[in-house]
Structures are given as C-alpha cells and as structure tokens.
C-alpha cells in the first residue's frame, strides 16, 4: 500500500462544501482510503494576491494506485467540483495537489513529487505538520518542521475538525 499526502484548497464559496466533497470523493474511490485529515485553516492567498482567502487542509491517503493515477483522480475531483483553469494561482472551487507519495521523487511531464512549492507554502506546511510533525522531506532530507514557512503568519485555524468521519459520513 502506498501513502500519499494531498493538499486541498478552495476560495470560492461554499468553501467548506468544496473541501468536504473533495475529501468524500477521494474516500469513496474504490482504490483510495482517506486515513487521516488535518484541521481546516483559513489562509491569505499566496502568489496571486487579489483574490479571496482560502480554506486549506491536508489529507493522508492510502492507495494501491500509482502517483500518476492518483493525480488523475485528483483532477477528476477538481473537474467534478467545477474547477475552471484560467488565472495561474487564481481562484478555484477546489485544488488538489499531491505533496508527497511514499518517499518517492517523481519528475515527469505531468507530475512533480514532492510538490516543488510545498516548502515555501505555510498553507501546506501548517496542516501537514499538524498531522505529523516528524515528516522529513524525501529530497532535502530536512525535517519539514524546520522550514521557515511553517512558522509563517497568514494561516489561522478555522475549524478544528480533523476526524475523517466528519468529512465522509456527514450526510
């Protein structure tokens, strides 16, 4: 079984609905189990800043899929939630990025893992470290908790829910 960490973000209302549906859709997939979830954080936009605040979280999945297949599932879920790609780093109903996949280092045309921008993104590091503060970056071999962005401001706890059941059994 493979272990992946996926970052989920939304800054188009209903943000909580979009996160919840994304987690549910991952878990309902025959070949994916959501094993753990972080709390939900409200975060100021990074990159393209003229947009609404995001809700962000991270989930840990167990899957027999390879990383490319997992990416395709993530993209299918984004499409199902009505994501339209226009502005780079712009508003989105749901964005699912693969942060880590086992300790693999993958560089293909469609997929780079570990996610190349994860260490500079507090909106990724804060929820990821809530789940496991001992994660080591598979390439740099540094403890992620030592990364400066993990201490960044602009990320505040929004809902302290970190039980998978909340996301998958709530209707």
Ligand X SMILES: Nc1ncnc2c1ncn2[C@@H]1O[C@H](COP(=O)(O)OP(=O)(O)OP(=O)(O)O)[C@@H](O)[C@H]1O
- Catalytic amino acids? 83, 92, 95, 97
147 in contact with ligand PH2 (CB under 6 A)? no
User: What does the alpha-carbon distance between residue 84 and residue 112 come to, in Å, rounded to a whole number?
Assistant: 21
Q: How far is CA 130 from CA 40, 54, 90, 152, in A?
A: 11, 18, 26, 14
In the complex, minimum distance from the CB of residue 52 to ligand PH2, in angstroms, rounded to a whole number: 10
Beta-carbon contacts of 23 under 8 Å, excluding residues fewer than 6 positions away, are: 8, 34, 37, 57, 59, 164, 167, 168
Task: Report the site for ligand PH2 in 72-101 (rule: CB under 6 A).
Answer: 89, 95
114-143 mask for ligand PH2 (x: CB under 6 A)?
A: ---------x--------------------
- Axis-axis angle for helices 67-80, 15-28 (nearest 10): 140
The minimum distance between CB 162 and ligand X, in angstroms, equals 22
Provide the minimum distance between the beta carbon of 142 and ligand PH2 in the complex, in angstroms, as a whole number. 22
Q: Does 56 bind ligand PH2 (CB under 6 A)?
A: yes
Q: Is 5 in the site for ligand PH2 (CB under 6 A)?
A: no
Q: How many other CB atoms are there within 10 angstroms of residue 87's CB atom?
A: 12
Which residues would be at the binding site for ligand PH2 (CB under 6 A)?
9, 43-47, 54, 56, 89, 95, 123
């Amino acid at each position: 079984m493979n272990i992946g960490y996926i970052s989920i973000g939304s800054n188009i209302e209903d943000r909580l609905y979009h996160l919840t549906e994304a987690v549910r859709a991952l878990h309902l997939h025959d070949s994916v189990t959501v094993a753990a979830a972080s709390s939900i954080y409200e975060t100021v936009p990074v990159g393209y800043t003229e947009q609404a605040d995001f809700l962000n979280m991270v989930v840990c999945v167990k899957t027999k899929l390879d990383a490319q297949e997992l990416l395709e599932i993530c993209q299918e879920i984004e499409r199902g939630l009505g994501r339209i790609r226009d502005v780079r780093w712009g508003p989105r109903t749901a964005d699912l990025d693969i942060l880590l996949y086992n300790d693999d280092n993958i560089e293909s045309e469609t997929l780079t893992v570990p996610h190349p921008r994860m260490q500079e993104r507090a909106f990724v590091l804060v929820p990821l470290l809530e789940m496991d503060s001992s994660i080591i970056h598979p390439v740099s071999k540094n403890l992620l908790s030592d990364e400066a962005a993990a201490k960044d401001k602009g990320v505040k706890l929004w809902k302290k829910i970190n039980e998978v059941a909340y996301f998958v059994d709530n209707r």
